Amino acid sequence: MQAVLAPVQFLVFLVSLALVIRFMVTGQGERIADASVLLKTFALYTIMLTGCAWEKDVFGRWLFAPAFYWEDMVSMLVLALHTAWLIATAFEIFSVHGRMVLAMAAYAAYVVNAAQFLLKLRAARLQDQPMAPRGA
């Protein structure tokens, strides 16, 4: 499930990032930018829930299994920033520009978290590969 959801979430992120940047530069497209951040947030919640279920199935813990401790810690920051954006939007706590800055902070944390998982996946794949004979 994660192998499908992660690329979908990344695609949603890229589109949303472009829309948020467009709004911040031009002041146009507030609604579509907000809608894209909302979609990205729900994609994040979905992948987090399925990831927790996977972690429980594989490691016996919903979160913070030793193998994914730091990835889960950064994931909590990503969730907190996206949730803060939802609250700020729902209750109009910040200006539109302030909400978009908050979305960008959430996206920066998401990029760090995605990099953590990609590095972990790459390391696992390298570890599973048989070593090539010397001189090959």
Query: How many domains would you assign to the chain?
Result: 1
Q: 99 near 88, Cβ under 8 Å?
A: yes
| 133 found inside a domain | no
pLDDT of res. 135: 53
Which structural domain range is residue 72 located in? 2-126
Q: At what angle do helices 2-26 and 96-128 cross, to 10 degrees?
A: 150
Q: pLDDT of the chain along its 136 residues, tens only?
A: 778 899 999 999 999 999 999 999 999 999 999 999 999 999 999 999 999 999 999 999 999 999 999 999 999 999 999 999 999 999 999 999 999 999 999 999 999 999 998 998 888 888 876 654 555 4
Stated pTM of the model: 0.88
pLDDT of res. 126: 87
| 108 found inside a domain | yes
| 20 found inside a domain | yes
| 102 found inside a domain | yes
Residues with Cβ within 8 Å of 57's Cβ and at least 6 positions away in sequence, in order, are none
pLDDT of res. 106: 98
